[in-house]
Amino acid sequence: MRSAGPKLMRWLNVGVILLTLLSYLAPITNPNAFWPLAFLGLVFPLLLIANFLFILWWAFRRHWYAFFSIGCLLVGWSHVRGALELRLGGALKPVATKNALTLMTFNAHEFKGIGKQRFSQQTFTDLIRAQKPDILCFQEFPLDAGSAKRHADLLAETAGLRYSYQEKGGTLAIFSRYPIGRKGANYFTNRANGYLFADLDIGGKTVRVFNLHLQTNAISKITEKIDPADVNLQDRETWQSFGGVLRRYKRSAQTRARQAIAISEAIKKSPFPTLVCGDFNDVPMSFSTHTIGEGLQDAFKVKGSGRGVTYAGNIPGLRIDYMMTTPDFEVLDFKTLRMGLSDHYPLVTRVKFF
């Protein structure tokens, strides 16, 4: 009698492949029309891992079924690159180039630190001195006037970022080495989620910078209450918690989709070369990220390496912070700074005009 193992694995493989192919539709499907695909986009890294494991399984057994998952990944290769960027030798070394701009984005978590690790002003100062950003965009910048002024003075003294823009009562802020001309803000239902834009005069040329912060999922607080050791699939409360996560993710994904459409329209109206960065609160395989990034270069895809994780909270493996540019720029290098200053990692890229 033939073993049922290979047959079971074959059908499991088919199921993973079908889910993976469906997940490829997530970036072009508005969650307000059909939200389950948004969830498949969220778990795409898990589907990616499952496909790799099936490839290894069938390859070990020297079976041609391995080509099923290989073909599935090749069909969605552009999506695979959004989750995992492979480069021989790792990340590219910085290229010395004159007239380059260094752009940095950071969800600062109001400089509260993360977990038991408190924010260190000295570490932050060392970070700024080391990176020497020309433009620095903050999400969750302190609202307290005293704290905001202290950090603004520190940035002016440490990095020469003498020009800044922050709307009163808003948690988005842009700091610049260059004078700021026209500027504007559009906050949505609160003073945390929305965008700022600022036109910078860089040697007689105007560059528009967008700083974004989209609706949060707010599911990390739920997951913090769930102890994996106590999870019981036969327990009603377990499924209620899981259902609560799904419902919250559905609502937030639908809200971000509406925000992304509004932001995309604003970006497309820019008459100048444009830099876009911020906390999108969504994965690469999402409608909101795809909508905002349409026609833009993703700096991570161009020069990044590895998994591109930007979230340091209790949900592992998430890339939800981005840096993008219009085709007017050449992306020279990109890096993620894995530091314990916040529940997000700072991102830095250097660009130059063509």
Kindly state the percentage of the chain with pLDDT values over 70.
88
Average pLDDT for 32-39: 95
- pLDDT tens, 143-195? 888 888 888 998 999 899 999 999 988 999 999 999 999 999 999 988 889 99
Report the pLDDT value the prediction gives residue 239, as an integer from 0 to 100: 47
pTM: 0.89
CA atoms of 262 and 281, how far apart (whole Å): 16
Lowest-pLDDT range, 46-55, 219-228, 268-277?
A: 219-228
Average pLDDT for 245-261: 93
- pLDDT tens, 95-147? 566 779 999 999 998 888 887 777 778 888 889 999 999 999 999 998 888 88
What residues does each domain of the chain span?
Answer: 5-83, 101-353
- What is the assigned CATH class of domain 101-353? alpha beta
